[in-house]
Structure 1
Amino acid sequence: MSHPPKYWAVVPAAGIGRRMGAEVPKQYLPLGRQSVLEYTLDALYGEPRIQAVCVVHGADDPYWSSLQYTAPRPLIEAPGGAERSDSVLNGILNLLTQADPDDWVLVHDAARPCLRREDLAKLIDTLSDDDVGGLLAVPTRDTMKEVDEQGRVVATLDRSVIWHALTPQMFRLRALHDALAKARDAGRAVTDEASAIEAAGLRPKLVEGHADNLKITRPEDLALAGFYLQQQERL
Structure 2
Amino acid sequence: MTAEPRLWVILPAAGVGRRMGSAVPKQYLELAGRTVLEHTLDLFLAHARLSGIVVALGAEDGYWDSTAHATHPKVIRAPGGAERCHSVLNAVSALTERAADRDWVLVHDAARPCLRLDDLNRLIGALLEDEVGGLLGIPVRDTMKRANAGGRVETTLDRASLWHAYTPQMFRLDLLRRALREALEANDLVTDEASAVERLGLEPRLIEGHADNIKITRAEDLPLAEFYLRQQGRIG
SS across alignment from 1:219: coil
Q: 1:147 to 1:37 in 2, by over 3 A?
A: same
The Cα shift of 1:72 comes to 6.4
User: Aligned equivalents of 2:70 and 2:179: distance in 1?
Assistant: 33
1:9 equivalent in structure 2: 9
User: Aligned equivalents of 1:56 and 1:189: distance in 2?
Assistant: 17
Letter in 1 for 2:9: A
User: Aligned equivalents of 1:209 and 1:28: distance in 2?
Assistant: 25
TM-score by length of 2: 0.97
Asked if the contact 2:38/2:68 (under 8 Å) is kept, the reply is: no
Asked if the contact 2:10/2:108 (under 8 Å) is kept, the reply is: yes
Q: How does 1:39-188 map onto structure 2 within 5 Å?
A: 39-69=39-69, 74-188=74-188
Map Cα deviations across residues 155-189 of structure 1 (whole Å, 9 max, x no partner).
11111111000000000001011100000010112
Letter in 2 for 1:12: P
The Cα shift of 1:71 comes to 7.1
Q: Any gaps of 5 or more consecutive residues in structure 1?
A: none
Map Cα deviations across residues 90-117 of structure 1 (whole Å, 9 max, x no partner).
0001111110011000000000000000
Count of matched residue pairs: 235
The Cα shift of 1:81 comes to 0.7
The Cα shift of 1:141 comes to 1.2
User: Aligned equivalents of 2:34 and 2:222: distance in 1?
Assistant: 13
Q: Any gaps of 5 or more consecutive residues in structure 2?
A: none
Asked if the contact 1:46/1:117 (under 8 Å) is kept, the reply is: no
User: Aligned equivalents of 1:68 and 1:5: distance in 2?
Assistant: 29
Asked if the contact 2:69/2:75 (under 8 Å) is kept, the reply is: no
User: Aligned equivalents of 1:208 and 1:100: distance in 2?
Assistant: 28
User: Aligned equivalents of 2:224 and 2:182: distance in 1?
Assistant: 37
The Cα shift of 1:73 comes to 5.3
Does 1:23 find its partner at 2:23? yes
SS across alignment from 2:214: coil
Letter in 2 for 1:174: D
SS across alignment from 2:64: helix
Map Cα deviations across residues 43-79 of structure 1 (whole Å, 9 max, x no partner).
2223221110000001221011221327765110000
The Cα shift of 1:151 comes to 1.2
User: Aligned equivalents of 1:174 and 1:20: distance in 2?
Assistant: 35
Percent identical across equivalent pairs?
57
The Cα shift of 1:223 comes to 0.7
Map Cα deviations across residues 109-141 of structure 1 (whole Å, 9 max, x no partner).
000000000000000000000000000000111
User: Aligned equivalents of 1:44 and 1:196: distance in 2?
Assistant: 24
Does 1:219 find its partner at 2:224? no
User: Aligned equivalents of 1:22 and 1:221: distance in 2?
Assistant: 13
User: Aligned equivalents of 2:163 and 2:37: distance in 1?
Assistant: 25
Letter in 1 for 2:167: T
1:191 equivalent in structure 2: 191
Asked if the contact 2:114/2:228 (under 8 Å) is kept, the reply is: yes
